[in-house]
Chain A
Amino acid sequence: MKRTTFTKKSGKGASGVVIPGTHPSLHNGLLLVSTGIPSLDVVLGGGLPVGSIMMVEEDLFGRFSKIILKYYLAEGVMCNHSLFVASFEDKNEEILTQLPKPVTKDILTGSKTDDMKIAFRYRDLSTATNSLDAPPKYGHYYDISRTMDKIDYEHCGITTLNLNKLIRSTLNKLNTIASDIQHTAPKSIVAKTKLNIIRAAIPGLGSPLWCENTEDNVSSIARFLHALRALARNSLMTCVVTVPTHLYTPHQVNVIRHMVDCSIELESFSKEKTNPVFSQFHGLIRLKKLPCLNSLVPFIPQSLDLGFELKKTKFQIKCLHLPPDMSDGAAESDGKTQKSPCDSNTLHRKLDF
């Protein structure tokens, strides 16, 4: 047997330093961190870059932005990152008790128990056709109908901050955590340094509890985000903030958007006003700003028309698609919706031959 001179590079990277829970981006040289939602990771190009701030523009009642934040924190627990939560709620620990429970892959593939008799060659292929459905390479699956036990997150370094005293204290507290040696971005790579990521979450930034929605206050929010961004860039930190932008004018929202690296806007549907085309979705996601840290052009996902769906056990982002047109009997219904045969609800119905 011929021996080649090719030697595989060791998986640890050139320097031998691995930060748990991070992976390098396939598109640019950044270090990425999973947001906890695999489909959101795909949209962002693999995950959230370390050192960036993501803003989630809240939907009208803040329900889905809270879920996104919970996934983000749960992923941090799973990767053993340090967590930091700052909010006006009295009991910050409550959000920790509501984190979704991680689900192992076995439980997921167990549903495919039918041995395919005719299409046996397809048995071992993955069922994902759309890249947004593909199983996550670096993330974890979660079940939002169940919550994480205390044992699971006890080992994480979690800091919570009640903001009723002073907002300025957020930055100070974050600064003290960030200056901890394990969180600083090292100037030179020395092997064996234990590095870790801080995941900061600030729900409800800019809500009436922080400040009134006047011009002065918008500029102070912008200043806060500017300082936060400086802190994030200088240390190994990612930050997710949720802002109720429906309370601000479009111009004010633009000012705030400039200060963050990545911004997604959630628009939830109310029951009555749903366009029948969107019957499967619970709302739309609009990418207002994509992270573009070290490059001129950000990673642009395949499709910019995205919607989200909150199933019983998971929250998923999907491409918007029209339901297939069922011409049979469409004439009678006068343009009212037909249920598509590929809809997950009707799949169980009879399509018997």
Chain B
Amino acid sequence: MLLKLLNQVEKPKFIVISDSLDVTGTTLFQSFVTTRCKKTVVHVFLFETHPKDFLTSLKSTNHENIIIYDFYTDPLNWDDGENTISKSFVFSKTIENHACHTDQFIVAIDGVGMYLNNHPANQLYQDLQRLKQNPQLEQCILLIHSDEINQGVKKSIEHLSNAVLNLRHPRNNVMVCKTIFKKPNGKMLQFYEEIKIASDFQVSAMKWSLPNHNEPCEPIPPPSDEPSVVSDLSFNLKLSNDEKKQRGKLVMPYTQAKLAVKMEEKTSGEIIYELDDVDDYDEEDPDDDLDF
């Protein structure tokens, strides 16, 4: 799943990478930027690394498509720096001010801790929403540090996102990424993958199974062809196809009775008796020879 996100097979609008002190997400963040900058313009907001370091670590990739906003050198405007987190700083406006874009672009944000120190979280959410609604924005990638920000804020940011990548570190040299991907129809998919990032930012991912977690219930083996009760009998309980057809043709006794009832109703209750062979029916009335 992670590879699908990297290769843009799946394109969620808003990806959040959440890391911690144990496991750093900067390499994954950089690999996202490298894959994206091959095709589209990427606006990178750097709060935690110097632009030069960032660009050198990206080494061989094409730097033409990367536009960097440096908020590392002088964020609070102590030295009359260019980019500062002033009260009116807003991600979306900064991008709008930057001319020369008619195409799609991608926004990558290095970290929100510095922003949240100077602005209420409310402003961040609304700003991200405004970014999302910009029709030219293809994707927004946000790196957050889970131990730096308030849990409530982290939950809210994850609520706003379309895909969340949680990085964990169960053992040495093992980086596991838990991807929660929200499909546009609302369904939520969850994946656990062990990832390795090479020095040229190629990512390889393998499925990782949680060791201590109880295995989800195995699919029930399909019931054997015959239920065990019937298999050992000396007589046959099954019907062949012909027998089934004949069973279908059989007329039920009550249906005959129904017809008979219908017939009787028509003839108003008379009893019709037809003489058998054995019956001896005398037409004469035996009371005829009585003389009173």
Contacts and interface: CB of A to CB of B under 8 A. Distances in A.
B129 A63 contact: no
A68 B153 CA distance: 27
Contacts of A137: none
What size tier do the contact residues of chain B reach? 20 to 34
Given A271-B216, A338-B220, A353-B237, A118 B252 contact: yes
B133 A90 contact: yes
A349 interface: yes
B118 interface: no
B159 interface: yes
Interface string B207-244: 00000010011101001000010000000011000000
Contact of B160 (A60, A209, A212, A246): A209
Contacts of B153: 212
A214 B188 CA distance: 28
Interface string A261-273: 0000000001110
A208 B186 contact: no
Interface stretch (B29-37, B38-46, B54-62, B119-127): B119-127
Contacts of B190: 270-272
Nearest to B225: A350
Contacts of A271: 190, 216
A62 B125 contact: no
A59 B93 CA distance: 33
A212 B156 contact: yes
Contacts of B169: none
B156 A208 contact: yes
B187 A63 contact: yes
A63 B185 CA distance: 8
A186 interface: no
B217 A336 contact: yes
Size class of the A contact interface (CB-based, 8 Å): 35 or more
B186 A63 contact: yes
Contact of B188 (A63, A272, A274): A63
Nearest to A118: B252
B152 interface: yes
Contacts of A150: none
B155 interface: yes
B186 A213 contact: no
Interface in B148-196: 152-153, 155-157, 159-160, 182, 186-188, 190
A336 B125 CA distance: 45
A339 interface: yes
A117 B252 contact: yes
A16 interface: no
A60 B157 CA distance: 13
A118 B238 CA distance: 19
Interface in A109-149: 117-118
Contacts of B156: 207-208, 212-213, 247
Contacts of B122: 208, 211-212
A223 to B, nearest CB: 17
A233 interface: no
A208 B237 contact: no
Interface in A273-308: 274, 276, 279
A337 interface: yes
B93 to A, nearest CB: 15
B220 A339 contact: yes
B249 to A, nearest CB: 11
B189 to A, nearest CB: 9
Interface of B: 120-122, 125-126, 129-130, 133, 152-153, 155-157, 159-160, 182, 186-188, 190, 213, 216-218, 220, 223, 228, 237-238, 252
7 contacts: A62-B186, A63-B186, A90-B133, A164-B129, A208-B157, A246-B155, A336-B217
Interface of A: 60-64, 66-67, 88, 90, 117-118, 164, 207-209, 211-213, 244, 246-247, 270-272, 274, 276, 279, 328, 336-339, 349-350, 352-353
Given A118-B252, A207-B159, 16 more contacts: A63-B187, A66-B186, A67-B186, A164-B129, A208-B121, A208-B125, A208-B156, A208-B160, A212-B121, A212-B122, A212-B153, A212-B156, A272-B190, A274-B216, A339-B220, A352-B238
